[in-house]
A and B are shown apart, each in its own frame.
Chain A
Amino acid sequence: MFARVQHDDFSQQTLYDELCVNAVPQGAGAIVTFTGLVRDFNAKGGIQGIELEYYPGMTESALDTLLQQATSRFDIVEAGIIHRVGKLANHAQIVWVGTASQHREQAFLAATFIMDTLKQSVPIWKKEWQGNQASWVAAKADDSTAAMRWLQSDKDNTCDNA
Chain B
Amino acid sequence: MVTVKFFAQVRELAGAEGVDAPLPHPATVGALREQLMSQSTSFEDALSGNVLMAHNQTLCNGDTEIAVGDEVAFFPPVTGG
Interface residue ranges, A against B (CB under 8 Å): 36, 52-55, 57-58, 61, 83, 94-95, 115, 118-127, 136-140, 143
Contacts and interface: CB of A to CB of B under 8 A. Distances in A.
A123 B78 contact: yes
Nearest to B59: A121
B75 A123 contact: yes
Interface of B: 5, 7-9, 54, 57-59, 73, 75-81
B57 A125 contact: no
A61 B80 contact: no
Contact of B78 (A95, A125, A127): A125
A95 B80 CA distance: 9
Interface SS of A by simple majority: mixed
Contacts, number: 68
B56 to A, nearest CB: 9
A137 B59 contact: no
A113 to B, nearest CB: 13
A1 to B, nearest CB: 19
A36 B8 contact: no
19 contacts: A52-B80, A58-B54, A58-B57, A58-B73, A95-B80, A115-B81, A121-B59, A122-B78, A122-B80, A124-B79, A125-B9, A125-B78, A125-B79, A126-B80, A127-B8, A136-B76, A137-B79, A139-B77, A139-B78
Contacts of A124: 78-81
B79 A138 contact: yes
A83 B7 CA distance: 17
B8 A53 contact: yes
Contact of B8 (A58, A136, A140, A143): A136
A64 to B, nearest CB: 11
Contacts of B76: 125, 136, 139
Nearest to A114: B81
Nearest to B77: A139
Nearest to A85: B80
Contacts of B73: 55, 58, 123
Contact of A53 (B7, B54, B77): B7
B78 A36 contact: no
